Amino acid sequence: MPATQAETTAMERALSLAARGPKGVNPQVGAVILSPTGEVISEGWHHGAGTAHAEVDALSRLPEGSARGATAVVSLEPCNHTGRTGPCSRALLEAGVARVVYAVADPGDTSSGGAAWLRAAGVDIEPGVLADAGTRLLDSWLTVQRLGRPHVTVKWAQSLDGRAAADDGTSRWITGPAAREDVHRRRAEADVIAAGIGTVLADDPALTARTPEGALREHQPIPLILGRREIPDDAAVRSHPRPFLHRRGHDLSAVLAELSDLGVHCVFVEGGPTLASAFVRAGLADEMLAYLAPVLLGGGRLALDDIGVSTIRDARRLRTVSVDLLGDDLRVIARPAATAEPTKGE
């Protein structure tokens, strides 16, 4: 049976609840429990690794037996495996839930299959409700599940004519305060912030995440410097609250594999045109984050250089996710157009 209006509204709420949870190795998931007549009787979300999953969190807020015949509206397909916690599919069945509506199928090899298991047990299943919104929320986590490596966001700021700096190399500040604040917020959401050694030598960035007042934010990404040259003893990155990593090789896939082994989930690439272009050229940029300032610089210091395109037929086509005005600047978020959404699961 297609989702009702009450279930669609509940899914909007579930996605909002999911966003309260922390980004990381575990997905952000929200759940809303509807009575047999469509009223919200409970809700919950995943609070972090080792805590109850969203469905169990929502069920735990109900008196025993009151979920019988209810509908569970969940942003991610209920899991079907035992990790730090038990399978949500079993918990829903044992609670007497009669119908499960979810947005995104779980792509995990061990965790997927909850919907099929519940259907086989007689529970009504409705997949794909607000799937696009659910996929956007879980984008970085889904990348890790699908590709087995961290999600990579490549960020740059540019003038309206595509320059990252003036001809003398100066680039502070191309964009305004609102755009810079947005960048620092996104740094704080990443596990690692990557910069090329050329940028470290030229600009001496601190690679910290700061508040608009200049104070350090609570969460700081691990600085990663890529390039063969040495980092100066007085470089600002050496004063970063977290120890930096320095990798001299050019194999970005190997670097990402190492970061994955360290438990890294999200990488924020913010270290100059050479590094940004290398990630794009290697096909390792999952998201492009560009800030366009209404300023003209001319010259040759482009925001990107060689990305492996020699003819228009080879152009790397992107899909625009959003365009927003931040002060006088534009923020454009785009992803590779050929990237397919995960289909494993229901």
Catalytic residue numbers read: 55
Closest CA relative to residue 335, chosen from 290, 274, 302, 294: 290
148 Cβ contact list (under 8 Å, min separation 6): 260
**Which H or E element spans position 336?**
strand 329-336
Strands 151-159 and 287-293: parallel
Amino acid, single-letter form, for residue 20: R
Chain centre to alpha carbon of residue 192: 13
- Please, which residues bridge with residue 210 across strands? 216
**Under 8 Å CB-to-CB from 118, ≥6 apart: which residues?**
78, 89, 92, 93, 100, 125
**Strand ranges in 113-185 using DSSP code E only, listed in sequence order:** 124-126, 151-159
- Neighbour-count burial of 98, counting CB atoms closer than 10 A to its CB (0-12 exposed, 13-18 middle, 19+ buried): middle
Residue 182, CB half-sphere, CA atoms under 13 Å: how many?
A: 20
Look at the alpha carbons of 210, 216, 221, 225 in this order and tell me if their dihedral is positive or negative: positive
Which secondary structure element, helix H or strand E, spans residue 114, and what is its range?
A: helix 114-120
